[in-house]
Structure 1
Amino acid sequence: MSNRRTVVGVMGAGEGASAAAMRLAEELGECISARGWVLLTGGRPAGVMAAASRGAARVEGHLVVGVLPGEGNGDDRQKTADLDLAVFTGMGKARNVINVLSADVVVVCGGGGPGTASEAAHALNGGRPLILLAVPVLWREFFCSLDKGVQNANDVQECCRLIEARLKEA
């Protein structure tokens, strides 16, 4: 039996994240860490990534991983969220595939732009459970039309219950 910790990927808008999405992400990060799961984000110090990392970092024993687009040179190395482990890929937005495939479950928090949409699509293509947390109706309709297994949550506690249920199915 593996001792590998469960990895939950939290994806969402960066600079364009709403205040509501950032509040949810911070609460979600804390909830993930409190359950002993690893938080994985895109690692940048912006939006949902930064908020989820900040929330997770408040919990003793947390592990926060960021998969970053840059090579880790110069300012890149300093421009990260509250991370325990920064993975510099040098892949730009192509690193979204790594974000998703490294996660056991993927949560999209509050929607986002094309980058977040690509992460949701990669989750479906990669066979990762996808949970949409407080996303716009169009997001819900679109991603649920692609895969009937996509789940929706309106709040963090519901989201964490859905994650637990998906992990038990695996």
Structure 2
Amino acid sequence: MINFRRTLLLIATPLVIGSVGLVSVNRATAQADINVKQEQTEKMGGRKHKRPDFAAAASELGVTEDALKTALGVPETRPENGERPPRPDFEAAANELGVTEEALKQALGVPRRQRPDFEAAATQLGITEATLKTALGLPETRPENGERPPRPDFEAAANQLSITEAELKAALGIPEGGFQRGQQQSNQ
């Protein structure tokens, strides 16, 4: 009987030590994953992307949540395959709800960011506003149905205008490294 207990103890001891070791390694790996996710969040401006609180916004605006979502064109279900929903037309939604566009954006927590002053940038660069917008590939009119215009290719635009990309971005008031989520353009 004593030999059986010793044998059992000899077998169980390494199993217990191994189990404790695996738990420790698993905790360290999990903590490393959490640290990586926190670093990625910090690199993205320190904020996680979250949906607006439609219920709170609707209450603040004095409308129903359904009316708010309908006016904004918010789909019933999230798009699949990583597709982004169309950008809401805040002006049309505000008109439909009988509120100002500024009040709607404020209730939804949409950060205010001014658009670049293309006229001032063009003057600074010694070109026309139309030439600047064409080089940036900006459409003449705003896209319909909340579609997003293509992102400007600053490098190609700078080459087309025979200036450096840094000069182009400086004229447009875009900080080095671009805007971070929630960052506002300062008036110059």
TM-score in same-fold range (> 0.5)? no
> What is the TM-score when the length of structure 2 is the normalising length?
0.23
**Higher relative strand content:** 1
> What is the TM-score when the length of structure 1 is the normalising length?
0.24
**Higher relative helix content:** 2
| Greater C-alpha radius of gyration | 2
